[in-house]
């Protein structure tokens, strides 16, 4: 049995699969194609519509038979909500999903971090890769019930009358467009671990201005008064102030407008562009980035208060690593709801890249020291290959150890000039810091095995930001 962590994935056998979430929870499912959108309302399986081709809900048991899914379906997202919709998930035990095969074998289990204000979680995703199917752990939260989840996937939802006013609409468990996800889904994914031994065939797996309008280098004034409440909240958290940057603001405005045009909150809008791709397209290369995607608040102060209301979003707002920001709000002309995008970033610099990679190596060597292993030495050729792979994944919008033309980790290492006979690679995407990415790798058995492999003697680190999942990390080992 595989114990999954957020973003982790595992292959699945052929045949029907059963999903159970014990406890006071309702299970639902959304059937989509590669775009992440349903074809029609019949692709939403829940207590009032318990069956679709290849998917059946029977009490608390959800059965998925991939070969029987409708034509074009490539993904089934498993959703969990409290049986009592007036109870936030934070008041209940964290839901655990268990996946079993047709012969009753337990294949995988996943328990997400305990929710806070969320009333619904996207718990796991069954998805097709080629002809095979895999399971990915999610744990993404919404605060506006099944209506918000369904709407983001393209299901038509009959809404109750939305309450008037601003952020108070977030308390509506069903209906009411004011209720947003706590933050739009962000799934840090450590990816599969990949290694090859020396023997053939042994692969394994500055401060804002005081008074007046704050201005940043390359930035501009703050006519909407965002920076006052933002930097007051950061000061209370012991973090330095952020400055506005015109490029981040342009990206934030474009993403907020795309969300408002369709009435959806998502890190990737229906036009197929992610918020991170907008940042790169605006000419802003970054080392680290964070975001808040919210609807409901009416003023900058309400927006900040909302961001402070839960630990994950509060941590992003107060992250001391962020130096610059872009903020925008755009109304949905049909409903009047405001759609907010806030971007927080640390700009790219060669010195910053060097510092970040050295921190990843130091944390990696700390894990090796704790296991009684010698440290890995930095290797220029492995570093070049790792950096090139991260940049390539961003530029060509893929996420894999094998590049689109078939290049594998040891191929890239050799092309960069490496003479190491044993080569291994860990990749990850979505993590915002060296500590977060190393912790994710150590929580995954395959990645941990690479980090703690005695035969490896050298390491190179690469990272690049700007594609669908934010920052793409590569850790390349040689021995």
What is the pLDDT at residue 144? 59
Q: Measured in whole angstroms, how far is the alpha carbon of residue 249 from the centre of its chain?
A: 21
Between residues 73 and 197, the one the model is more confident about: 73
pLDDT tens for each residue of 83-120: 876 677 777 878 889 999 988 899 999 888 877 767 78
Classify residue 224 by burial, with Cβ atoms within 10 Å: 0-12, 13-18, 19+: exposed
CA distance 468 to 187: 10
CA distance 376 to 380: 13
pLDDT at 466 over 80: yes
Choice among 102-111, 166-175, 227-236 with the minimum mean pLDDT: 166-175
Q: Does the CA dihedral 345-346-350-353 come out positive or negative? A: negative
Q: DSSP H helical segments within 371-476, as ranges?
A: 380-396, 409-415, 434-442, 445-451
Interval 374-400 mean pLDDT: 92
pLDDT at 261 over 60: yes
Which among 136, 191, 202, 196 has a CA at the least distance from the CA of 450?
A: 196
Mean of the per-residue pLDDT values of the chain:
81
What is the pLDDT at residue 190? 62
pLDDT at 254 over 90: yes
pLDDT at 312 over 50: yes
What is the pLDDT at residue 430? 86
Between residues 316 and 207, the one the model is more confident about: 316
What is the pLDDT at residue 367? 97
CA distance 298 to 277: 27
Interval 284-306 mean pLDDT: 91
The band of 180, judged by pLDDT with boundaries at 50, 70 and 90, is very low
Classify residue 398 by its DSSP letter.
Answer: -
Choice among 56-60, 236-240, 433-437, 457-461 with the minimum mean pLDDT: 56-60
The structure tokens 């990645």 sit at: 447
Three-class secondary structure of residue 122 per DSSP: strand
Interval 159-177 mean pLDDT: 26
Hey, what are 380's tokens? 């220029």
The band of 167, judged by pLDDT with boundaries at 50, 70 and 90, is very low
Percent of the chain with pLDDT over 70: 83
pLDDT at 479 over 90: yes
Per-residue 3-state assignment (H helix, E strand, C coil) for 137-198: EEEEEECCHHHHHHHHCCCCCCCCCCCCCCHHHHHCCCCCCCCCCCCCCCCCECCCCEEECC
CA distance 128 to 7: 16
Classify residue 256 by its DSSP letter.
Answer: H
Beta bridge partners of 127: 75, 134
Interval 330-349 mean pLDDT: 92
pLDDT tens for each residue of 323-335: 999 999 999 998 8
CA distance 471 to 274: 12
CA distance 287 to 302: 29
Asked whether the beta carbons of 281 and 274 are under 8 A apart, the reply is no
Q: DSSP H helical segments within 245-379, as ranges?
A: 246-262, 275-281, 300-307, 311-317, 350-370
Interval 348-374 mean pLDDT: 95
Asked whether the beta carbons of 25 and 80 are under 8 A apart, the reply is yes
pLDDT at 146 over 60: yes
Residue 430 φ/ψ, nearest 5 degrees: 100, -20
Between residues 6 and 426, the one the model is more confident about: 426
What is the pLDDT at residue 223? 72
Interval 201-230 mean pLDDT: 51
Interval 165-183 mean pLDDT: 25
Which among 71, 92, 70 has a CA at the least distance from the CA of 24?
A: 92
What is the pLDDT at residue 115? 74
Torsion angle in degrees (nearest 10) through CA of 366, 368, 374, 378 = -70
CA distance 12 to 66: 11
What is the pLDDT at residue 220? 56
Between residues 191 and 130, the one the model is more confident about: 130
Question: Would the pTM count as exceeding 0.95?
Answer: no
Asked whether the beta carbons of 301 and 226 are under 8 A apart, the reply is no
CA distance 353 to 376: 19
CA distance 234 to 319: 8
The band of 296, judged by pLDDT with boundaries at 50, 70 and 90, is confident
Three-class secondary structure of residue 70 per DSSP: coil
The band of 204, judged by pLDDT with boundaries at 50, 70 and 90, is very low
């Amino acid at each position: 049995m595989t114990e999954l962590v957020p973003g982790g994935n595992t292959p699945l056998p052929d045949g029907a699969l059963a999903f159970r979430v014990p406890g006071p929870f309702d299970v639902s499912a959304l059937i989509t194609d590669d775009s992440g959108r349903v074809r029609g309302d019949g692709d939403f399986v829940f207590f009032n519509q318990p069956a679709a081709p290849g998917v059946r809900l029977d009490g608390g048991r959800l059965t998925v038979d991939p070969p029987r899914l409708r034509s074009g379906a490539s993904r089934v997202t498993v959703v969990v909500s409290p049986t009592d919709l007036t109870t936030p998930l934070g008041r209940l035990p964290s839901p655990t999903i268990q996946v079993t095969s047709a012969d009753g074998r337990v294949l995988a289990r996943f328990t997400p971090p305990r929710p806070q204000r969320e009333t619904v979680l996207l718990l796991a995703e069954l998805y097709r890769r080629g002809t095979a199917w895999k399971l990915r752990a999610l744990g993404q939260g919404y605060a506006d019930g099944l209506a918000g989840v369904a709407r983001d996937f393209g299901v038509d939802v009959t809404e109750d009358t939305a309450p008037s006013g601003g952020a108070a609409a977030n308390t509506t468990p069903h209906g009411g467009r004011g209720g947003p996800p706590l933050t739009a889904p962000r799934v840090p994914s450590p990816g599969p671990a990949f290694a090859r031994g020396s023997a053939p065939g042994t692969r394994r797996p500055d401060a804002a201005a005081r008074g007046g309008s704050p201005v940043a280098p390359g930035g501009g004034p703050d006519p909407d008064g965002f920076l006052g409440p933002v930097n007051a909240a950061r000061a209370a958290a012991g973090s330095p102030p952020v400055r506005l940057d015109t490029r981040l603001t342009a990206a934030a405005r474009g993403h907020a407008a795309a969300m408002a045009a369709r009435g959806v909150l998502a890190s990737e809008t229906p036009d197929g562009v992610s918020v991170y791709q907008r940042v790169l397209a605006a000419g802003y290369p970054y080392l680290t980035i964070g975001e808040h995607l919210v609807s409901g608040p009416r003023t900058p102060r309400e927006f900040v208060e909302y961001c402070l209301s839960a630990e994950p979003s509060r941590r992003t707002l107060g992250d001391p690593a962020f130096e610059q920001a872009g903020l925008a709000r755009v109304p949905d002309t049909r409903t009047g709801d405001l759609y907010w995008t806030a971007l927080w970033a640390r700009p790219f610099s060669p010195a910053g890249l060097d510092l970040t990679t050295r921190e990843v190596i130091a944390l990696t060597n700390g894990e090796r020291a704790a296991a009684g292993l010698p440290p890995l030495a930095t290797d220029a050729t492995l570093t070049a290959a790792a950096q090139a792979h991260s940049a390539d994944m961003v530029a060509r919008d893929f996420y894999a150890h094998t590049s689109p033309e078939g290049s594998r980790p040891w191929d890239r290492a050799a092309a960069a000039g490496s003479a190491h006979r044993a080569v291994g690679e860990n990749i990850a995407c979505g993590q915002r810091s060296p500590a977060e990415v190393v912790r994710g790798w150590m929580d995954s058995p395959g990645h941990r095995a690479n980090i703690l492999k005695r035969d490896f003697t050298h390491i190179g680190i690469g990272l690049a930001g700007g594609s669908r999942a934010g920052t793409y990390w590569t850790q390349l080992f040689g021995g």
